[in-house]
Amino acid sequence: MMTYCSWNEQKCLDLLEQPFFELIQLAYAVHQKNFTAGDMEFCTLANIKTGACPEDCAYCPQSAHYNTGLKKEKLMDLASVVAAASNAKLNGAKRFCMGAAWRKPSQKDLPKVVAMIRAVKDLGLETCVTLGMLEAEDALALKESGLDFYNHNLDSSAEFYSTIIQTHTYEDRLNTLKHVMAAGINVCSGGILGMGETRVDRIKMLLTLYELPITPKSIPINQLIPIPGTPLAKAPLLDPFELIKTIALTRILFPEARIRLSAGRENMTDETQAWCFMAGANSIFIGDKLLTAKNPRLERDRALLKKLNMQFPEEINA
């Protein structure tokens, strides 16, 4: 079995190119050392502001640059957020993640999000928000509210990123992560697979995350949900083994991180998901909806995890 003390592109490629079962065995050994068998983290998403985003991210249904037929909605009110979070808690979520389709939060909206974070924390839930780019003082205000995680994905390699987004840069993404880390908020950052990027792009993204001064505790791996109307609507389907191998590599590089099998599970077979869990994914979103796209229904997730003898939170209100 190969061992590595530091990582670079070639070492990652070598890992991915060894026999599949060797890779999975190595990843599962790392996983077993750091997590209890069958353990799974459950998070629920809420889209607190929908559509009309000025950014042009080629995968995103919420970008104002593409006609995806999405109905735009203003910032949710506090009571509706609390109701959604209470429901998520009843269904067994440990963390409530709030997303807003913004380039960056305005000074008018940020205090409203701060109030939401406080209210969700009062319910006894962990909090995560994803609001676009942050300045240093925004991050401090969010920290002050008690925010646990800030989600801001690198999404791909720097080179590939510039082919799918023109309205902001990779450097902008890294700057936001810098402010999040400086404020003492946990980083949640990962990527999307299946946008037409190469294996090397995926490796470079993971190595950029690896080189951050504070290792992310939470790494979402999304599989592209092709959205009609976006430039990536017809992107070629990702081979499920490429997804599984990327999860395995993520587990090996980040032994202690929660790896979230994030968007795209609705289009995956149970067997693909099971392989992803074996390769090291140990967090999922539960609930019928992600931000705008479908997520597997609770019944399907419950049945899958039961078949695998893995934890599923019993519905308190069943």
Q: At residue 201, what is the residue type? A: D
Among the listed residues 308, 302, 179, 251, the one whose alpha carbon sits nearest the alpha carbon of residue 32: 251
Q: Give, as one character, the DSSP assignment of residue 18.
A: S
Binds ligand SF4 (CB under 6 A): choice among 44, 47, 50, 62: 62
**Contact (CB, 8 A) for 129 and 46:** no
Q: Count of residues binding ligand SF4 (CB under 6 A)?
A: 8
How many Cβ atoms from other residues are within 10 Å of residue 227's Cβ? 21
| Residue 12 annotated in active site | no
**What is d(CA 115, CA 2) in angstroms, rounded to the nearest whole number?**
49
Query: Residue 208 binds which entry of ligand SF4, ligand SAM, ligand DTB, none, with Cβ cut-offs from 5 to 8 Å by kind?
Result: none
Instruction: Locate 218 and state its tokens.
Output: 């939470």
Question: How far from the centroid of its chain's Cα atoms is residue 140's Cα?
Answer: 22
240 SS3 class: helix
CB nearer to ligand DTB: give 119 or 232.
Answer: 232
Binds ligand SF4 (CB under 6 A): choice among 44, 50, 63, 262: 63
Q: Does 132 bind ligand SAM (CB under 6 A)?
A: yes
> Binding string, 211-250, against ligand DTB, x = CB under 6 A?
---------x-x--x-------------------------
Contacts for 186 with CB less than 8 Å, ≥ 6 apart? 148, 149, 150, 216, 217, 218
Q: Does 295 bind ligand SAM (CB under 6 A)?
A: no
Cβ 115 to ligand DTB shortest distance, Å: 20
Residues at the interface with ligand DTB (CB under 6 A): 45, 61, 97, 99, 130, 151, 153, 190, 220, 222, 225, 262-263, 290-293
Query: What residues are annotated to the active site?
Result: 53, 57, 60, 97, 128, 188, 260
